[in-house]
Chains A and B, each alone.
Chain A
Amino acid sequence: MVDRSKLKFAKTHEWARLENGAVIVGITDFAQQEIRDIVYVELPKTGREVKQGEPLGVIESVKAAFEIYAPVSGRVVAVNDHISQDVTKIHKDPFGEGWLFKIEASSPAQLETLMNEADYQKITAESHR
């Protein structure tokens, strides 16, 4: 079980967690519930340089496509290939096996610009994606 107090949250519904020098990124439990029926995921190539807030992937449900945004600037150093084989992992375990990619952050301090869990829960209670 992932300790959610160690996660940081973007208002675009990604979570981020620093582990062994890389920032692991996924979408939140709230987001996977809202999107529902995920059928296809497009992940970035490793080596890609991204800026915070830049779109770098797409999650598609039966009904619509949703962009995934980089929670921090840096370079993509790994992607979760298991997701392409079984997209339902995002529904089953969004904070664990459903992770999407890892970014080597150019400035790890950028994580501090993201929300903590309590603040994220406030915005999800008010707004729907």
Chain B
Amino acid sequence: MKHTALYEIHRALGAKFAPFAGFEMPIVYKSILDEHRAVRAGAGIFDVSHMGQIFVAGPDSCKFLDYLLTNDISAPPIGSAIYAHMPNDRGGVIDDLIVYKLSERNNLLVVNASRIDADWEWIKKHAEGFTVEISDESPHYGIVAIQGPLALKISAQLHPKISEIQKMKVSVIPWKSHDIIAARTGYTGEDGFELIAENEIIAPLWQEIARLGPTCAGAFSPCGLGARDTLRLEAGFPLWGHELSEDITSLESGYSWVINWNKPSFKSKNILERQKQAGLSRKIFGFAGASAGPVPRQGSLILTKSAQKAGIITSGSFSPTLGKPIAMGFVDKAYWNETNFILDTGGRQLQAQTVKLPFYNK
């Protein structure tokens, strides 16, 4: 089992660990509910060092990524953080990722931990013919995320330049004779930063934020992957392996905006165009419990009131903010006009209504 640079710190904080994508990661320190609420009310820090870092450098860096990814990488200015999907030959999603455009000739891809190997193989396989240098630096980099309404105030004390970074932008900030790739991005639905740096600086960076956090007069907590999941679900963000997979297209996931149709070509563009023209047979809906009840989980059935199967739940949890169960799931086209469903988890049933995503909007 792999460990991040912060493993000993998590242990000292009394974290409960679980295996995740080959890493032993902190799931919760004391309470997922408390950690979740700290991020909504104040700020939380997360170790997301398990995620992967793949650098794509060279004169064709943007051109190559324009070919591999759904979104446009060439056009946005240097310093942009661009969310994109990487389609396979069938239009399914190999991974969803953020491209940090550090320069015209150097892009950093931050990818899902569980997909590092698949991503790397795919990128390597398609690099031929492009003047690019690709390197998987995942083992050498870590990420500390600070998220919440107080994230800006806390982060600005690391370096004043951090407060100049706008949403969905990235900048390289010097800190303790190292470079931090500081991005105003996140996975919680709150303002915040993801601070990407080499392993040796990750523990000092975490410790400094942990020191600054409690001085900012508000809720502050280290947060495990448990809270990260409930926060992203409330924000309506997809998670690979749930709302995204090699057998789910960007269109079906409800994230058609990641596709830039103006690009002359990109991987599987024709397949996605055909699906767009033909129309979808399923798409993601949000659900909220009509009252307290069994919490839907991945794999729970979406049933009509007459007990017909209308789809399947991809993610479900209890929403700490709304105080009731919420879920996302695929609904078959025949049932898109219905609004009341039963979410069945092993025979235990929750009355639920479709709701517009996201569940939480700050």
Contact = CB atoms under 8 A, between A and B. Distances in A.
B31 A65 contact: no
Interface in A36-68: 36-37, 39-40, 42, 58, 60-65
Interface stretch (B54-62, B292-300, B327-335): B292-300
B317 to A, nearest CB: 6
Contact of A65 (B16, B33, B226, B294): B294
B322 to A, nearest CB: 12
Nearest to B227: A62
Q: Interface range on chain A: under 10, 10 to 19, 20 to 34, or 35 or more?
A: 10 to 19
B182 interface: no
B230 A62 contact: yes
Nearest to B292: A40
Contacts of B345: 65
Interface in B5-24: 16
Interface residues of B, number: 19
Contacts of A58: 294, 348
B248 interface: no
B28 interface: yes
B108 interface: no
B292 A37 contact: no
Contacts of A62: 32-33, 226, 230, 295, 317-318, 320
Interface string B278-298: 000000000000001111010
Contact of A60 (B33, B294, B320): B294
Contact of B31 (A37, A40, A42, A84): A37
A114 B133 CA distance: 65
Contacts of B294: 40, 42, 58, 60, 65
Nearest to A41: B292
A40 B28 contact: no
Given A40-B318, A42-B348, A58-B348, A63 B293 contact: no
A126 B320 CA distance: 33
B297 to A, nearest CB: 8
Interface string B27-58: 11001110000000000000000000000000
Interface of A: 36-37, 39-40, 42, 58, 60-65, 84
Interface of B: 16, 27-28, 31-33, 226, 230, 292-295, 297, 317-318, 320, 325, 345, 348
Q: Which 6 residue pairs spanning A and B have beta carbons closest together?
A: A39-B318, A62-B32, A37-B32, A37-B33, A60-B295, A62-B318
Given A62-B226, A62-B295, A63-B27, 19 more contacts: A36-B28, A36-B31, A36-B32, A37-B28, A37-B31, A37-B32, A37-B33, A39-B318, A40-B292, A40-B293, A40-B295, A40-B318, A40-B325, A42-B294, A58-B294, A62-B32, A62-B33, A62-B318, A65-B345
